[in-house]
Structure formats: structure tokens, C-alpha cells
Amino acid sequence: PGIAGTLRRREPTLISCTMLAFCLSSSVALNLFGGKKPGRGTLYSDITQTIGNTPVVKISDKLNPYPVDVYAKCEFFNPLASVKDRLALAIIQDAEERGALKPGDTVVEATSGNTGIAVAMVCAQRGYDCVICMAEPFSVERRRLMRMLGAKVIVTPKAGKGTGMVRKAEELCAKHGWFLCHQFENEANWKFHEATTGPEILTDFSGKKLDYWVTGYGTGGTFNGAGRALKKERPDLKIILAEPEDAGLLASGIPTERLADGAPAGSHPAFKPHPIQGWTPDFIPKVLDDAPDQLNDELVPIPAASAIATAKALAAKEGLLTGISGGGTMWAALETAKTAPEGSVILAMLPDTGERYLSTPLFADIEADMNEEELEIATSTPSFQLVPGKEPVLAA
């Protein structure tokens, strides 16, 4: 039969091997993706279409030793790694639909960073100029990220606090005719969470228990909007609202005085500086105030040190890299777990990524250089050693 005949006889074997390899690789892929086919099954026309539908992840007994289940909704899965991506899209989309924002306009916002990064992203995609006002104490990496996205960042004095950066944004818009997002007053903020974040949670817990939902507040959009959606469908759900222990604005019972547009008239008397960036400015936001009465069942003060320690524990024990606000929310969830009835289910929001905090107290004791333990490992084999005070060693 010759070589051709031999190859023809082997074709079924070759085809069978190929099919077997394909089936095995498909089986491995399905296992890797939790039983789902790889890929999303769709193509996106722009980055804003990827906002939302963030995953819920269970916390293991390494961090949660209590007889309850604790989950985290990981908002750092949004394209610019924070829950504020939702807010930015909501406000700009709403302004476009109302005709308040037109091609060639400049968008302005006052922010601790995450909203500014999100607004800069949406402006870059839509083609708007972007100006961000940010108070001096917030992390410098946030400024750089916004500038990377094409925004102009105006830094305001530390002594002016959050109200100072808001006043600056208002001044700029009044002088130049620019569009101000008004994240702290804009109802498009909480309505987007009511339409997306809340329903996502309801879908993920469909047919399952959910007894507690834990969140903090920056603008109050997540709490107000998602809280409404959750309470409507699950009226027995308990909502735990967290705020910094050092800035107990809600705990004080003192309201924020407002201007005609809902913006704060001044700094709240109960405010003190705190390291939980993105949470609790020096006023109670109108978006938070507009939440229905008694929406939250409990208000939990968060010690700054506990928020930082819990964020570190989430990274080291769960592989979840979140910021100080995420650590604070999870601390409140774990405190709730201590007294919750056995078998309860608790969901905590993780608002952003830990990478936003490299220059903050979250990373204060994490060195860039090798420590003693790392040096001991490095010198346990003879090659490629970089030991301080010694000549670098390449091949032994």
C-alpha cells in the first residue's frame, strides 16, 4: 500500500486523538471556569459596557470562624477597580439624556479619588474634557491615575477638607460654564444602584438565604439605591451601615446644613480626619440623607486600626486585595457574625482595590526591600544574591 496507504489507515487514529485532546481541554476549561464555558459570549463596543455584574465570593473559615456564611461583593472587578465606576456612568449618562452635557463640554467633580478616576475613564471614552478637584491628603497614586486618563487634577488645601474641594469645583463651573457632576446630591447616583447593584445581589442570592447586608457610605449611593432594591424584595433583610469611629456624623444626630442645591453649607461639627479614604466626607451627603427613614437596621462605628488590619487579613488569608473601606466593611460583617444566629448569611461590600492605597497607612509597614526572612531565603542557595552592603552575586 505504500506510505499514502499507511497514512490513510492511521487517519481515524489521528482524528480520534485530536477529538480526545479537544474533549479533555474543554473539560479542563469547564472545571477552571466553575462549570461555565470560557469567555463571556459577547463583544463590548466600549469599556463602560463592562461596568457592574461584579462577583460575590465566600469568605473562608480562615477569616470567618463563626457558624455563619460571610460573602463579599467584589466591586474592584469593575473596569477601573471601584464601585464608583457605576456612579460615573450613571451621572454622565443621565446628563447626556437630559441634554445637560453635550459634545465638547468639560466635566468637573470633587472627589477623594475613586469617583475622579471613574469620571476620568468615562470622559476619556466619551470624549469630554475632565477636571477633578481633590483635597491634598488623598493618596497621590489616585492623582496620577486620573492624569493618566487625561484629566486635569486640581489639588485643594488640606485645611479646606471635603467642603473645600466641593467649593473649588463649584467656583470653576460657575466661572467657565462647565458641567458639575454633583455626586453627593445627584439622584442618578442612587437610582443606578437601585437598578443594578441591588438586583445583582438579588439574582446571585436567588433561592438562597441572605440575612444581613453590610455597607459603608461615601456619597450614600450604594446604601440608598441598593438598599431600596433589597428591602423591597426582602423586607426581613437587616441592613448594617458603617461609618468611621473617628467621624461619627450619623451617630451624632446632627444634620448637615445645606445650600439651595443640596450641597453642604459647611463642615460637620462631628467630623475628624480619618484614614478610611472614600468614606464619610466632612458633611452628610444629600444622597445619603435622601434614603428612606429606617433603611438601615444598625449603625456600626469602625475603628480605623481594625479597618486596616482586616484589609490586610483579606489579602493575606483570602487573596482579596481591597482598600481600607473594604476592610472596614468586612470588619463590620465579622462583628455581625459574632452575634448572628447560627446559619445566618451575611454579605459585605468591598468597594475598591488595595492598589489605590500604596502611599497610605494600609501599606505603611510593607517594605519594598527584602526583610530578614526574605534575605535568609535568598541566601539559602548560592546564585543570584542581592544582599545589602555586599556585591551582587550572579552565578555561584
Only one residue has cell 432594591, namely: 229
Give the distance, in angstroms, between the CA of residue 37 and the centroid of all CA atoms in the same chain.
27
State residue 19 phi and psi, 5-degree precision: -65, -40
Question: Nearest Cα to 52, choosing from 296, 222, 288?
Answer: 222
Alpha-carbon separation of residue 185 from 41, 189, 255, 283, 351 (angstroms): 37, 8, 15, 12, 20
Rounded to an integer, what distance in angstroms lies between the CA atom of residue 63 and that of residue 153?
38
Among this protein's residues, is 139 annotated catalytic?
no
Question: Are the beta carbons of 229 and 295 closer than 8 angstroms?
Answer: no
Proportion of the chain in helix, strand, coil states, percent, rounded to 5: 45, 15, 40
Half-sphere exposure of 58 (CA within 13 A, CB side): 9
Among residues 82, 112, 139, 325, the one annotated as catalytic is 325
Give the distance, in angstroms, between the CA of residue 175 and the centroid of all CA atoms in the same chain.
33
Residue ranges with strand state E in the chain: 56-58, 69-74, 106-110, 129-135, 152-156, 179-180, 212-215, 238-244, 298-302, 345-350
Amino acid (1-letter code) at residue 194:
E
Among residues 73, 84, 161, 238, the one annotated as catalytic is 84
Only one residue has cell 442618578, namely: 188
* C-alpha torsion 132→138→141→145, nearest 10: -20
3-class secondary-structure state, position 122: helix
Among this protein's residues, is 84 annotated catalytic?
yes
Degrees, nearest 5: CA angle 26-28-31: 110
Amino acid (1-letter code) at residue 192:
F
Which sequence positions are flagged as catalytic? 84, 325
